[in-house]
Structure 1
């Protein structure tokens, strides 16, 4: 299973939902980067994703986007293949 990297904050409800969905999918390799604790991580996230909102997620090297993007992949049946590729 691919490693998931998630830029997040502690109070973000979409970050919590994203993590819950990943747990239901059996993801154990989750790297959480807390941009609220490290301002340089926010700069890196914006540079890497060109987005300013959290969560921002990568599955392996593929930028998935935010929670809504990941939920859309799940609804389309495309999340599992991406996690398991």
Structure 2
């Protein structure tokens, strides 16, 4: 069973789109998206959980991966696919 993928995002966000495409290329069938531009409470929740203000902020299971650059770095290091296969 693949881990849950949660992405804090905005309606218009090129880095969010790139992160989603990378995850889809890796076989992720579903990304749970939380749109922080729709509700200020969700933005506050994201900042409290991650300590960051920018989107995307991505969780694979309970692990905070970070933003798109962090996700792409994990992929380049060969660490992303094993994370996506953990149950």
Runs of 4+ in structure 1 deviating by more than 4 angstroms, as ranges, are: none
How many residues are matched? 85
Alpha-carbon separation, structure 2, partners of 1:39 and 1:33 = 12
| SS at structure 2 position matched to 1:6 | strand
Q: Deviations over 1:3-48 (max 9, x none)?
A: 1100000111000000011111111231100001111100000000
Structure 1, unaligned stretches of length 5 or more?
A: none
Distance (Å, rounded) in 2 between the aligned partners of 1:2 and 1:64: 13
Query: What is the CA RMSD across the aligned residues, in angstroms?
Result: 0.6
Tell me, in whole angstroms, the C-alpha distance in 2 between the residues paired with 1:80 and 1:38.
Answer: 32
Partners of 1:41 and 1:21 in 2: how far apart? 24
| Structure-2-length-normalised TM-score | 0.95
Which residue of the partner structure matches residue 13 of structure 1? 14
Consecutive unaligned residues of structure 2, counting only runs of 5 or more, are: none
What is the match of residue 47 of structure 1? Answer: 48
TM-score normalised by structure 1 residue count: 0.97
- Hey, what does 1:31 align to over in structure 2? 32
Q: Distance in 1 between matches of 2:37 and 2:44?
A: 11
